[in-house]
Structure 1
Amino acid sequence: MRTFMESLNNGNEATAQEALELFIELAGTEPRFLRRQILEVVGSMLHVAEAESLEEGTRHLAIEFVITLAEASDGAPGMMRKLPQFISRLFAILMKMVLDIEDDPSWHTAETEDEDAGEW
């Protein structure tokens, strides 16, 4: 984790993104490995997700890690439920990311492939 944070601090986001992808894989396959460091790891990932100075891809990978850890079936949901202090912070980060999506004018002129989409 220290090396990951040092990569970010040194501006080496490509290396940090590779590390994040490995963290995501670890969270999905062996979430219990992170049990002892869960506070530090989740806190660090949320800190990365909040850092507007970082690339969008890096921030999204940090969120993906937290969500993957919460969804992992091997004991991780229980670990995450013990961290209620992070829920409101995660929600605020996600809402900010949603609100930061720029409107694309082509979305308003796009035709749907299925003209009956949304009708019952």
Structure 2
Amino acid sequence: MEFDNNRPIYLQLLEDFKLKISSGQWKSGEKMDTVRNLAKIYGVNPNTVQRALQDLEREGLAKSNRTMGRFITDDESLIEEIARGAFYKSCDELIEVAEELNLTKEKSLTLLDEYWRES
């Protein structure tokens, strides 16, 4: 993962963790990797990973068990809500660009459909 130096790393990690959960890359109810291993994978300080994971827990997407480790939530509706939020954020960006280009909703959807079929 390449980090944006203009934004706190722990927030970028949090966003990546949410993406992994909402996309199913990290499965509902699955045991998460340790802080130390995640820090090694991402090439960051373990304290930075810990801060991101604390926020993940605050949002209800992970749960800690002192003796067994940390687990991804099994709340599928919460995971779906996170996925929907990420999608809507991208939609907001797309709509903003379309408006800057003076594209109508219909033209934008046509272009999106064409692009989607080509991908």
Q: Normalized against structure 2, the TM-score is what? A: 0.29
Of Structure 1 and Structure 2, the greater strand share is in 2
Of Structure 1 and Structure 2, the greater helix share is in 1
Q: Normalized against structure 1, the TM-score is what? A: 0.28
